[in-house]
Amino acid sequence: MSVLSWASLEQTLTYLEIGGHFRPAGCVARTKVAIVVPYRNREAPNITFNRGLLMNIGYQEALRDYDYQCFIFHDVDLLPEDDRNLYSCEQSPRHMSVAIDKHNYTLPYEAYFGGVSAISRRHFQKINGFSNVFFGWGGEDDDMYLRIVYTGLDVTRNSATVARYKMLRHAEDKLNELNAVRFRLLNTARRRRLQDGIRNVKYTVLKKEYRQLYTWILTSPHTSGAMFSVNGREGLRMSQRKNKHF
């Protein structure tokens, strides 16, 4: 669990092409997979974290670069332990981080969808991506589970012996406080689904850098309660109260 320097990783992972692309040398890859990692530098901007919204931005920006067919939505702090847990998309959206050390390698609850998930482009489009209205910690993963179900799709999982992860420890984040309205928002998941997602996410790309190991995108989301006309009242109220999501 030691921390390696970027320079040493760049020297080791020389098979990566610029932007963090990998392609097998001896065959043509069957699918094109993008791994989207939402990351906010723990010190940096003073807005409340919004994981779902960052996933939606990562999805759209990846598609501007390349014709990806499959998307893995991945917490920055999870390390896969077993390479039989394939980073690929199958017939149904798949929850990949089934067994995490932090949860004693057991699924916390049946509708759990946090951590890592694999969703095909076709399905993500149909689901309308993640919700944009969950600011702070919690709920956006449960909302995604509900969206998948309401879209008429199934969630699949590999067995807990294969789908194992370690979670890195870190201090509690500032500006990722518990989202107090997350349960109320979850009650509106069905109605919100078609208005709140990749179809209406708006943002500015401040920087996009094709680094050796990955592509780095710095964005500034444009979010306002007005976007969630149907049943985003809770989202609106929360934005107004904190007044720092704009």
Distance in angstroms (rounded) separating the CA atoms of residues 23 and 25: 6
* Interface of this chain with ligand UD2, residues 201 to 220, rule: CB under 6 A: none
Q: Does 141 bind ligand UD2 (CB under 6 A)?
A: yes
| Residues found in the chain | 246
Q: Does 77 bind ligand UD2 (CB under 6 A)?
A: yes
β-strand pairing of 202-210 with 164-167: unpaired
Phi/psi for 125 (5° steps) reads -65, -45
Nearer to Mn ion, 61 or 77 (CB): 77
* The entry of ligand UD2, Mn ion, none that residue 97 binds, CB within 5 to 8 Å by partner kind: ligand UD2
Nearest C-alpha neighbor of 126 from the set 207, 182, 71: 71
Distance in angstroms (rounded) separating the CA atoms of residues 65 and 61: 7
Q: Which amino acid is at 218?
A: L
User: Of residues 48, 75, 193, 201, which one binds ligand UD2 by CB under 6 A?
Assistant: 75
Nearer to Mn ion, 68 or 113 (CB): 113
* The entry of ligand UD2, Mn ion, none that residue 154 binds, CB within 5 to 8 Å by partner kind: none
* Interface of this chain with Mn ion, residues 76 to 95, rule: CB under 5 A: 77
Nearer to ligand UD2, 43 or 67 (CB): 43
- C-alpha pair distances (Å), 105 with each of 98, 101, 109, 144: 7, 5, 12, 22
Q: Does 143 bind ligand UD2 (CB under 6 A)?
A: no
Nearer to ligand UD2, 28 or 159 (CB): 159
Q: By CB under 5 A, which span of 48-56, 70-78, 89-97, 190-198 interacts with Mn ion?
A: 70-78
* Interface of this chain with ligand UD2, residues 149 to 188, rule: CB under 6 A: 167, 173, 176
Nearest C-alpha neighbor of 238 from the set 181, 173, 164: 181
Residue 163 makes CB contacts below 8 A (sequence gap 6+) with 82, 85, 96, 97, 98, 99, 157
Nearer to ligand UD2, 42 or 244 (CB): 42
Count CB atoms within 10 A of the CB of residue 38.
20
Distance in angstroms (rounded) separating the CA atoms of residues 196 and 237: 16
Nearer to ligand UD2, 39 or 214 (CB): 39
Q: How far is the CB of 175 from ligand UD2 (least distance, A)?
A: 7
* Interface of this chain with ligand UD2, residues 24 to 63, rule: CB under 6 A: 38-40, 42, 49, 51
- Interaction site with ligand UD2 (CB under 6 A): 38-40, 42, 49, 51, 75-77, 97, 100, 114-115, 137-138, 140-141, 167, 173, 176
